[in-house]
Amino acid sequence: MQILKSSLFALALLTLSLDTGSVTSVRGESVKRVVVWDGEQANVGAGWVNPTTATIQPQSVEARSGKTALEFKFKGSNQWLGAGWNWCKFKKGTNVGTDASAMKNLSFWIKTKGKVGGILRVNLLCNGEVLDAPEEHTVKVEVIKYCPKLFDGDWHEVVIPMADLNQIKGFNPKIISEIHFGLTADKDTDGSFFIDDIAFDDRSKEK
């Protein structure tokens, strides 16, 4: 009986963590974190790419944590290469998405492989009855501003304050469903970005 009670209590705690996000300690600060994709516990999603010769999908050769990370793979020359990952699998509706309205940051880990150069920008997209409407996007920010060593081939955490992702009128931070990556590529670009542990958190700005 005691084992059953313990099991039920553990299940309740797991359910609570999945609903409200995890709480971790960062330099003595309790931080609430909502993970939307990590390849293991949060592993649901679908992607799009442009041009269609690029790909974005889970793979298990490179990972920052666990065994799985996303790979945005591309090849091009002096052109825009884009991809998005929608952790709601493009399901429409104003009640679908992640509530990040109380979060201070978007964070993810990234690693570059191959011959990659240019300007990588990122932005968020909220959900709605019609997908990909202009007012559902945040503005785009340049990743290198938050990750100066972006192209060195190592894993780096990118932490972008939500305040920098200026929210256009119509964007709803309570139903975020997608992250966009857009690379304005240099000449003869041929490589990948590996992306892992996409999350929102409420940590304060590091001093």
37-76 pLDDT, tens digit per residue, is 999 999 999 999 999 999 999 999 999 999 999 999 999 9
Phi/psi at 118 (5° precision): 125, -160
- 99-125 pLDDT, tens digit per residue, is 999 999 999 999 999 999 999 999 999
Q: What is the C-alpha to C-alpha distance for residues 137 and 167, in angstroms, rounded to an integer?
A: 7
**Residue 21: what pLDDT?**
60
How many other CB atoms are there within 10 angstroms of residue 34's CB atom? 21
**Cis omega (within 30 of 0) for bond into 51:** yes
- 156-198 pLDDT, tens digit per residue, is 999 999 999 987 888 999 999 999 999 999 999 999 999 999 9
Domain boundaries defined on the chain:
23-201
According to DSSP H, which parts of the chain are helical? Answer: 2-20
What is the CATH architecture assignment of 23-201? Sandwich (2.60)
**Residue 133: what pLDDT?**
79
Q: Output 49-57 pairs: Cβ under 8 A, ≥24 positions apart.
A: 49/74, 49/81, 49/82, 49/83, 50/80, 50/81, 50/82, 50/83, 51/76, 51/79, 51/81, 54/81, 54/82, 54/83, 56/83, 56/84, 56/85
Q: Is the pLDDT of residue 26 over 90?
A: no
Beta carbons of 69 and 58 less than 8 angstroms apart: yes
**Residue 170: what pLDDT?**
83
**Residue 1: what pLDDT?**
41
**Residue 167: what pLDDT?**
77
Q: What is the C-alpha to C-alpha distance for residues 192 and 198, in angstroms, rounded to an integer?
A: 17
Beta carbons of 125 and 180 less than 8 angstroms apart: yes
Stated length of the chain:
207
Q: What is the C-alpha to C-alpha distance for residues 108 and 112, in angstroms, rounded to an integer?
A: 13
Q: What is the C-alpha to C-alpha distance for residues 81 and 119, in angstroms, rounded to an integer?
A: 10
**Residue 190: what pLDDT?**
97
Stated pTM of the model: 0.85
Q: Is the pLDDT of residue 207 over 70?
A: no
- Better-scored residue on pLDDT, 77 or 20: 77
CA neighbor of 132 nearest in space, from 177, 169, 165: 177
**Mean pLDDT score, 65-91:** 96
